[in-house]
Structure 1
Amino acid sequence: MDCREAREKLLLATSDDLPSAEASELRSHLTSCAACRGEEARLADVFGRLATMKRDRMPESVRAGYWEGLSARLREEGLVRSPGGARSVARPARGISARLAGATVAAAVLVGAFLVGWFAGLFTQQEKGTEPPRAVRPDTPPPAPRADEGREREPIESAPATGWTSDFALGNGPADRGEGVYAEFVLGPEAAGENPVEYGIDEALPQDPWVASIDF
């Protein structure tokens, strides 16, 4: 088993959904591969944080116009074609949200963000023995101390006139597996003296049905 195969199976292994024979093969690979052990630890941390995150929905005033803006951004980034193209953006069905009731934040913020980096850069760069480039967070006022201080986060962009900020990540799944675009969007208030609260919205769930069906 090489690194690419191992990382494709890590998510299933972490959720105890990997057949025992494949799990044994994966464990053998992890014993000799420090890079993949690091990805295993990163994914384990993701699942560990799922149980502690605040499960709130962002206000409708913040949600308004989100999907349209995201669609435009995806097209600008060249991740999808213009409306009507083979890969034009379509709003996810509300049924996805129902299947992940109570885990919207978790799916949008953590698992999605993990998969963005996973699929967008790991397959090509890790096989060459290098780490994928890390996103650089722009200068922002220092936040109040948090329990997870020091954890790497995606770039933050200001949301004008709302008092909120956003974590925004884009990425493509491997074309040969037919996976679509992943997009995550997280917002949190930054009032003086308050810790940001992370929110997720159903439109930001990963577009791959296999990912969206994971039971948290």
Structure 2
Amino acid sequence: MQMKSMRLKKLSRLLVILCLSAFLAALSGTPTVMAQVSPRKKSTTPPIPAKPSAPAPFAPPRPVEPFRCERYVLYRGQQIPCDSIVRQDAERLRPIIEDVPAAVLELNKYQKNRRDIRKAAYFGTAGIVLATAAFFISQQYHDSASELQQQGDTSGAQAQSSKSDIFKALTWGGLALTGGTIVFGISLLRTNELHLGNAVREFNDARPETPIELQFTTEIRF
């Protein structure tokens, strides 16, 4: 009996060992499952383009003056523009000569004559417009008088002819106005430069220690 009990104990121990070894073998043979991170798919949607920036605006080209004459004043070693940016009026000379009344008076005469020259140009343009319009109207009355004369309407032809003569006189009047303003403008333009020279001379006589000098630059550009 004692022998059987010992065998049973050995068998039970052997079974326990076999069960444990089988359990351990089962654990060791089980594949370990590891979580795999699937690679991130690249987006096939094209990116939204950025808003295009507007190109820099082109600077407008400066107008080229083919015939250009600039006047300067040489004063205390500095070359100063004589005229304003609007027209040739020698206005930038005024702050220099304002302490000499005689020089300022000559400058005022110079600028007044420049304004008179511009007015003469307006009158000359009006004379050209008047002469052109009167000429065409006179021709219409002349043609109408010729037609009435051919039709035998003598009184009507004379009336139209009289109107034609009136507009012919206006044509010659417009041409005379234009011619007169041209002669006046040219003569005044030639003599007006003397007032500018007199203004400089009066200032130099009153301020001999700081004289001024007019300088001219003429350019022809293509």
Same fold (TM over 0.5): no
Larger Rg: 2
**TM-score band w.r.t. shorter chain:** under 0.3
TM-score calculated relative to the size of structure 1: 0.24
